[in-house]
Every structure is written in structure tokens, then in C-alpha cells.
């Protein structure tokens, strides 16, 4: 018999290579299909955010299975979608709910994807009847700031680490 820590560590580590391969294949297909700008910087950000997103969803699933019935996961995923900042942008979320926005991993993924791809574009677009640069629209409407990408990178890697650690803890219990 193996120790529960060894089992959970193996379970966590075995996910990384195939999720990385899945990310690379996904990005090779989707990135040019969307028509994003093909710079190394932007493609790297897209790969990083996608990889971290796949990791935290995978580890969250493992975590939920380790300590709850499967019906609870639908509540987590609904919350992740509702508080991601897409349906209700960060500046429009009521102040008493903003803490849930910051605890939701998908909000950080959305922030990383949109800010890395569009946060440095100064081209004017027509939004809600007025002309604005893309980066100003991201700041005003979504609350995304290009200078916060390093924070986004740290938080995005923290979610998989926390979920994997909690999974290991609950497997041992």
C-alpha cells in the first residue's frame, strides 16, 4: 500500500504533462483561428493562461471529488461563470460581492486573456456610441489594467497549487 501523500502527489504530477500537451495543441489550433496578433509575448501569455486554467479546473475537480459529493461541483462552476467578470464586469459588481470576484479563478483567467491580448492596443473602437481606444475600454468597462499582468500570473499559478495541496490534504484525511 502506498502512502496517501505519495498517491495524491502522483495523481497531481501525472496531470501536468498531458495538460501541457493539450494546451499546446489547443493553442496551435485556436490562436490563429481567432486571429490574435502572433507575437511571442502574446502567444506565451495565451499558453500560460490556458495552461493554468486547465490545471486549476482539473485540480478543482479532483479536490471536489476528494471531499464532497459530485452534485456540489455544479454550484462551484456556476459561481465561477457568474463571477468571472464577463456577464457582470468588475466595476459593476456590488461592493459586498467583489470578494467573490477576486476568489474566482475564472475572473483571473479572463483578466489575463483579455489584458494580454488587447491591453496594449491603442486603436480606437466604437463602444456604446462613443469612440475609445481598446485599452481605455478594458480599463473603464472591465477594470483590466495591463500593468497588473504580473499579479495575474502569480494568482493564476497559485490556484492550481492551492487546489492540488487541498486535494492531497483531503485524500490523506
Domain that holds residue 122: 4-172
Q: Is 35 left (phi over 0), alpha (psi -120 to 50) or beta?
A: left
Q: Quick check: 9 and 59 in contact, CB under 8 A?
A: no
Q: Domain count of the chain?
A: 1
Per DSSP, the three-state class of 67 is helix
pLDDT digits (tens, 9 = 90+) for 49-107: 999 999 999 999 888 888 776 667 777 778 878 888 878 888 888 888 899 889 999 99
pTM: 0.89
H-type helices in 35-172, by residue range?
A: 40-67, 72-82, 98-103, 105-118, 134-137, 149-172
pLDDT digits (tens, 9 = 90+) for 32-41: 999 998 899 9
Amino acid at each position: 500500500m502506498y502512502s496517501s501523500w505519495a498517491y495524491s502527489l502522483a495523481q497531481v504530477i501525472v496531470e501536468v504533462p498531458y495538460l501541457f500537451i493539450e494546451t499546446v495543441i489547443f493553442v496551435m489550433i485556436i490562436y490563429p483561428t481567432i486571429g490574435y496578433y502572433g507575437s511571442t509575448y502574446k502567444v506565451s501569455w495565451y499558453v500560460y493562461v490556458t495552461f493554468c486554467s486547465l490545471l486549476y479546473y482539473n485540480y478543482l475537480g479532483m479536490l471536489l471529488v476528494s471531499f464532497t459529493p459530485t452534485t456540489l461541483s455544479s454550484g462551484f462552476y456556476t459561481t465561477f461563470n457568474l463571477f468571472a467578470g464577463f456577464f457582470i464586469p468588475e466595476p459593476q459588481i456590488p461592493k459586498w460581492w467583489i470578494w467573490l470576484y477576486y476568489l474566482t479563478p475564472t475572473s483571473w483567467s479572463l483578466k489575463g486573456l483579455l489584458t494580454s491580448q488587447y491591453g496594449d492596443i491603442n486603436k480606437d473602437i466604437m463602444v456604446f456610441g462613443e469612440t475609445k481606444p481598446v485599452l481605455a475600454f478594458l480599463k473603464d468597462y472591465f477594470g483590466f489594467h495591463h500593468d497588473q499582468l504580473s499579479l495575474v500570473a502569480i494568482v493564476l499559478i497559485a490556484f492550481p497549487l492551492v487546489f492540488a495541496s487541498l486535494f492531497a490534504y483531503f485524500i490523506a484525511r
